[in-house]
Structure 1
Amino acid sequence: MGTTEESQPSILTAPLLPSASASASDTGAGAFSDDDDHFPPISFNHGHRPVRDLPALLLFLLLSLSTLALGVVALIRRNPAFSHSDSFVFDPISSSCLPSQHLSNSPLFGTPLFKDLTITLVLTLLLSLPLALILLWLLKHFAKQVIYACIPFFIIVPTFLNVYWFVSCTLSPACRSSFPLAYRLLVLVFVFLLILIVLWIIVANWNRVELTVHIVRVAADALFHNLALFFVLPGLTVALLVYIGVVSVFLVFSRFNGRIEPRAGAGGKYLCEWRQEGWVPAYFALAIVTMVWTAAAMVEAKVFVISGTVAQWYFCKEGVKPRRSIRTSLRNAFGPSFGTVCFSGMIMGAVRAVRAIVDSAKREGIAPGIVNLVTQCCAKFLLSACDFVNKFTIIFTAITGEGYCSSAKMTYELLKRNLLSAVFVETVSTRVLVGIIFVLSSLYAIAVCAVLKAVSALNGEIYLVAAIAWLLLIVLLGFFVHVLDNVIDTVYVCYAIDRDKGEVCKQDVHEVYVQLPLSRNHRPSFNPRNTFSV
């Protein structure tokens, strides 16, 4: 011990973690074995970053440009006759199909339901950002009070809704006649069983709630220092929606490429039918693959921007705010690391496609019995492994600028050297946050229902409007949870880098994350290099 301390330069005389220095040393904080001396120190790369994963970038650009170019061709070569092809009849004199008189009426959207639904959804969209900011402020300053106050509502709100719908349906003659008592009781008991399962999960994880409070508070503090992410990330979402909208328009007009031709029918009569050109189905396949890849790549780009921004904040000195951190992350994401983002999006798009195929096979029962069970278990294991690897790989790429494969390898080695595991990142915090937004959205839906009952002329449609508003707010606040969850993962990787270098950039983060469980394959052993001073 004495020899180790003398051989290393001492900058601080106090331990790294005053409240947890012993545990940090025992668990291998900054521990390097003799075989690990060749690993270079890891930190945020502010300098020049070379272009990575160029083949994935070129392939993505090729598919995207081909989709847009063929879409423009489809728009120019469209046949307007497609929109009224049903009105064409066969003319025996000219032996061709000619249009006949055809009138159509467009539906009007002036009903009270459409009006109230539109107003409700617009207000929900406008209120979502203030609600997210208020929730973030509460989690930063009063995380313990908010979490402990919301946990009982995880049971109270679904219980109230379950009893309310049962009583309302019982009192309504129309619902009572269409939904017999036996079925109502069956649904009532089933929902109560689900509530009991949620209650059991809460009780089983109660000892981890206190750690969850600290993790959420640290993540909220990190996100609070980078509030501009709330304006940049929705901008990326809007850009994605515009791109998908343009491609969708091209897909619609690609169906207009063809002609109306006569076809011999029964009894020697000729009918007129629309025949698409042969390249249209291939364009549909190309456009769908491109849209899926683009959507997955944009999700990874958002994670990249969040990770790069939070990492710059983390590695800054206390009291110093990083300059242009979001701009730097955006430049890296859509610049030298865009190939890595595309490669990551390709992997995640493939994972989601395989998962959809597995779920579809499960519903249809294509391979019943033990074969189906084994296939599903293997597929879920591999897909979950890909999710874990990809999540931390893109974070590491945002920090260092490495390529995808080297980032995956270096992330694994980083966590392994420091006895950490990607599997053990606290998941209770995400579930608690999901529960909080469920409670808030449910309370909002109840308020919407009460207001509509007071001011609207709708009857049973009020519940439909409230349900749609509830779903929209769940999705919007779910975006907030997604951002906060990525912040938690990013801080975890930054904490691992700190341990690897034997440094403490954020003392409050170390005091929280040092309490996370270690890797399952960790075998405590005495190593004199595990205790050190910096």
Structure 2
Amino acid sequence: MGSTEDTTSTTYSDASSSPTQPLLSNPAPTYPYPYPDPPPASEPEPTQFLQISYNYGPRPIKDLPFLLLFSLFALSTFAFGIFSSVNRNPNSSSVSSFSYDSTTASCVKNATTSSTLRSPTFLPLPNSFALHSSSSSLLKSLIWTLVITLIISVPFAFSVLVLLKHYTKQIVYVSLPFFVIVPIFVNVYWFVACTVSSTCDEKFPLAYRILVLVFVFVIIGVIVWIFVVNWHRIELTVRIIGVAADALSRNLGLFGVLPALTLGLFVYFVPIVVFLVLARLNGKIVAREEDGEYYCVWKQDSWVPAYYALAIITMFWSATAMVEAQAYVISGTIARWYFSKDGSSLKRSLRSSLRNAFGPSSGTICLSGLLICVVRFVRAVVDNAREDAPGMVNLILRCCVNALLAAIDFLNKFTINFAAITGEAYCTSAKMTYELLRRNLLSAVFVETVSTRILAGIILVLSAIYAIVVCVILKAASNLGVDSYFIAVMAWVLLIVVLGYFVHVLDNVIDTVYVCYAIDKDKGEVYKQDVHEVYVHLPISRNSRSASALVARTPLVV
């Protein structure tokens, strides 16, 4: 009896902690029965999902009601916008030419027009020419610097991608010291510059300068401490970034399509902005009584504020939906590359992702964009309410709401990945996402946070070095003086925007590769051996570890 008990216990523990156990499905537990014939297997639950894989075939339309709702908002915005532009009042800007007529009790246009007075000609001030010359020189230098920065940023981003693909470890380890050196340099530089400048010294006392200096050094110390504590994770993060850079380098068409989608969004916004400007011209000139006297004033039509609300909601929803569409295209393209066999053609992967994003899954993208839009709106309301309702209760409520919104953002990101891979509806993809992340939550958080922070740090370091070089060149080649700092900062901001977009794309690639690896592990297959060699070292979820330990330690009751 003892040997039977030991054998059965070992079999149950090994089966429960097997590394080939699917991630997305919940297999029926194997109970240790001492009887010769176990009870018949129960029917699978209807909520149990099948193993997922990339859907190459035609996909059915999902979440159609949300696509129709978005179309209704967009068509209504354009329809009322056209109506507002056609029916605008041409007298909206000439209220002063109307006067109150007591006989008709209304405002009528004056019959006589006042003579046009010739504006006096002012002689230029003595220093006006120098001021104009200085401003034009500043504007010219700023435009040329921004144009050159924009032109350089494209090959610069490709160079960063190539370096991250082939020399990831060297780039990361060379950039890490600059995470500390650059803030220290900026902190010491502004302190010395403010001390030397008499104007800054008067407006910013020495005690406050020292306090800010020490505070910045404390923040830098915290950054150093974070690096020291997480040093054992840096090597894994380096390999994850290298894998994502390799995947992105094999799908360079994304760098042409994604900016084109952004440009298309701006073109879509142009008529809406024009309609918003013309909508305010819809109204009439009416008489208003004040202190017994009548004045002619402009009164907008009652529907104009409602149209403003409709147009603004449509623009925000369109912007978030476009962001989700770009994430969908990235996920679909990378997933098709991942699940393709070596040597197969990938020319149609990007085209297929675009067709699915703006075809069968357009309703899913609209729903996801709507959720993100609502989350952003609620977060803005909560942030603006901190001054209206101060106190501990308000602080606790804001923390809870922000935690809930962050969880929705986190789940929504991987939901779009699943929808791009499988073509399922939003709710189904969310359930499948939960089934996967429930046992790999810490791994997903690790993939999202650590790699993103390091990439952002690398971009900040490279942009700061570029801004310093620009400032030195402007100091040596021009007489702009203090304005050279302003131009260098603007160049830094522009380069940050371009490289930040590159980091955003690379972040989506990292998330997609992670999901593809989880699907591979769920099916017990290996499509990309180099990806498995890296992602297999991800931290194990505490829930999975504790569940395995509990099963292994549970005694058998015979």
Which of the five TM-score ranges fits, normalised by the shorter chain? Answer: 0.7 to 0.9
- Matched to 2:252, the amino acid is L
- Please point out which of 51, 66, 77 is paired with 2:87: 77
Match of 1:323 in 2: 347
Alignment of 1:346-357 (within 5 A): 346-357=370-381
Alignment of 1:282-293 (within 5 A): 282-293=306-317
Of structures 1 and 2, the larger Rg is shown by: 2
- Matched to 1:298, the amino acid is M
In structure 2, relative to structure 1, the CA distance for the partners of 1:445 and 1:292 (3 Å cut) is same
Distance 2:247 2:166 in 1: 12
1:424 deviates by 4.4
- Matched to 1:90, the amino acid is S
- Please point out which of 83, 86, 90 is paired with 2:99: 90
Match of 1:216 in 2: 241
Give secondary structure in 2 for the equivalent of 1:48: coil
Matched, 1:233 2:225: no
Give secondary structure in 1 for the equivalent of 2:350: helix
Match of 1:16 in 2: none
Task: Decide whether the 8 Å contact of 1:78 with 1:257 is kept in 2.
Answer: yes
Structure 2: give runs of 5+ residues left out of the alignment.
Answer: 1-13, 30-43, 121-131, 553-558
Match of 1:124 in 2: 149
Distance 1:388 1:514 in 2: 22
Distance 2:415 2:89 in 1: 48
Cα deviation code 1:233-262 (max 9, x no counterpart): 011111112222321121111111123333
Alignment of 1:1-400 (within 5 A): 27-28=19-20, 30=22, 34-35=27-28, 39-83=49-93, 85=95, 87-88=96-97, 90=99, 95-96=107-108, 98=110, 111-266=136-291, 268-362=292-386, 364=387, 366-400=388-422
Task: Decide whether the 8 Å contact of 1:63 with 1:286 is kept in 2.
Answer: yes
- Over the matched positions of the two proteins, sequence identity in percent amounts to 58
1:293 deviates by 0.5
Give secondary structure in 2 for the equivalent of 1:260: strand
- Matched to 2:308, the amino acid is F
In structure 2, relative to structure 1, the CA distance for the partners of 1:262 and 1:88 (3 Å cut) is farther
Instruction: Calculate the aligned-residue CA RMSD, in Å.
Output: 2.7
Task: Decide whether the 8 Å contact of 1:212 with 1:426 is kept in 2.
Answer: no
Give secondary structure in 2 for the equivalent of 1:503: coil
1:176 deviates by 2.8
In structure 2, relative to structure 1, the CA distance for the partners of 1:426 and 1:56 (3 Å cut) is closer
Task: Decide whether the 8 Å contact of 1:144 with 1:213 is kept in 2.
Answer: yes
Distance 1:418 1:212 in 2: 17
- Matched to 2:65, the amino acid is P
1:81 deviates by 3.5
Moved more, 122-131 or 294-303: 122-131
Instruction: Normalising by structure 2, report the TM-score.
Output: 0.83
Matched, 1:401 2:423: yes
Task: Decide whether the 8 Å contact of 1:97 with 1:261 is kept in 2.
Answer: no
Cα deviation code 1:326-368 (max 9, x no counterpart): 1100000000000000000000110111111111112x1x332
1:104 deviates by 10
Distance 1:118 1:102 in 2: 38
In structure 2, relative to structure 1, the CA distance for the partners of 1:124 and 1:29 (3 Å cut) is farther
Match of 2:35 in 1: none
Task: Decide whether the 8 Å contact of 2:89 with 2:284 is kept in 1.
Answer: yes
Task: Decide whether the 8 Å contact of 2:153 with 2:495 is kept in 1.
Answer: yes
Task: Decide whether the 8 Å contact of 2:236 with 2:534 is kept in 1.
Answer: yes
In structure 2, relative to structure 1, the CA distance for the partners of 1:475 and 1:381 (3 Å cut) is same
1:69 deviates by 1.2
1:466 deviates by 1.6
Give secondary structure in 2 for the equivalent of 1:518: coil
1:66 deviates by 0.6
1:459 deviates by 2.6
1:61 deviates by 0.2
- Matched to 1:487, the amino acid is V
Distance 2:490 2:502 in 1: 19
In structure 2, relative to structure 1, the CA distance for the partners of 1:132 and 1:413 (3 Å cut) is same
- Matched to 2:156, the amino acid is L
Moved more, 424-433 or 411-420: 411-420
Match of 2:452 in 1: 430
- Matched to 2:415, the amino acid is T
In structure 2, relative to structure 1, the CA distance for the partners of 1:465 and 1:88 (3 Å cut) is farther
1:412 deviates by 1.8
1:391 deviates by 0.6
Structure 1: give runs of 5+ residues left out of the alignment.
Answer: 1-21, 529-534
How many equivalent residue pairs?
499
Give secondary structure in 1 for the equivalent of 2:543: coil
Distance 2:118 2:368 in 1: 50
Matched, 1:514 2:536: yes
Distance 2:296 2:310 in 1: 29
Distance 1:54 1:104 in 2: 62
In structure 2, relative to structure 1, the CA distance for the partners of 1:33 and 1:352 (3 Å cut) is closer
Task: Decide whether the 8 Å contact of 1:27 with 1:419 is kept in 2.
Answer: no
